[in-house]
């Protein structure tokens, strides 16, 4: 083999071949990135959905527990003081020590806040100080959701024929529907879960056991 032939054989890839390889590598890398990004997006979405559901259930569990224990501190006066779509104030026994607490839940912006005032007297008529500072509750309300969190009923709601109790008739409430649209963000993905529960309050004058 001549020297010229050996030189021609040792040249390697030509420029068009290198350009083709680079272009192919670019396509492969772009496809890999797209696949990885899609996988991350789906993972974040699934995680956000799961966390939103878990937080929503946790908030409902806390609310349900305290609402279920709500009771009248004055016979016939009801367990509720304020019944608004996004605020509720009621008497309950948080510590189960026989002494009432006045509890408030309210939504401000997209956060749920809880405040409490413990009776300063051991016998009726009970005296309550001002509420403690609002404490945020786990979870966040979807910012675009503006529907009622709390809807109030008498015990007749079980028949499906009752209408919600108006805000001026707080003493008549013996059942509460609590609905939350809890929102969570993971990465750049967000998810909202709509959770609802019913609570029947037994410790009031108009409740039928």
pLDDT score, position 3: 52
pTM of the model: 0.75
- pLDDT tens digit string along 122-160? 888 889 999 999 999 987 888 889 999 999 998 665 555
d(CA 145, CA 180): 9
C-alpha distance across the termini of the chain, in Å: 107
Choice between 155 and 105, residue whose per-residue pLDDT is larger: 105
- pLDDT tens digit string along 198-208? 998 876 755 54
- pLDDT tens digit string along 8-48? 555 566 777 778 777 788 787 777 777 666 666 676 767 77
**Structure confidence at residue 75 as a pLDDT band (50, 70, 90):** confident
Residue 87 predicted with pLDDT over 60: yes
Residue with tokens 């500072």: 133
Residue 37, classed as helix, strand or coil, is: helix
Residue 97 predicted with pLDDT over 80: yes
Tell me the domain boundaries of the chain.
40-200
Q: Which of 169, 158, 176, 172 is nearest to 66 (CA)?
A: 176
């Amino acid at each position: 083999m001549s020297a010229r032939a050996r030189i021609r054989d040792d040249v390697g890839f030509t420029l068009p071949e290198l350009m083709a390889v680079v272009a192919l590598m670019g396509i492969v890398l772009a496809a890999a990135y797209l696949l990885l990004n899609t996988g991350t997006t789906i993972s974040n979405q699934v995680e956000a959905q799961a966390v939103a559901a878990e937080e929503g259930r946790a908030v409902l569990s806390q609310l349900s527990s305290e609402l279920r224990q709500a009771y009248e501190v004055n016979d016939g006066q009801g367990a509720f003081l304020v019944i608004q779509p996004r605020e509720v104030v009621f008497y309950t026994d948080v510590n189960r020590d026989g002494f009432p607490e006045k509890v408030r839940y309210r939504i401000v912006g997209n956060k749920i806040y809880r405040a409490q005032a413990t009776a300063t007297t051991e016998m009726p008529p009970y005296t309550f100080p001002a509420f403690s500072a609002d404490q945020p509750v786990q979870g966040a309300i979807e910012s675009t959701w503006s529907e009622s969190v709390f809807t109030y009923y008498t015990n007749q709601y079980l028949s499906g024929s009752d209408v919600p109790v108006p805000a001026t008739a707080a003493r008549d409430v013996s059942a509460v529907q609590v609905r939350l649209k809890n929102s969570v963000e993971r990465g750049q993905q967000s998810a909202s879960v709509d959770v609802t529960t019913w609570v029947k309050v037994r410790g009031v004058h108009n409740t039928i056991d």
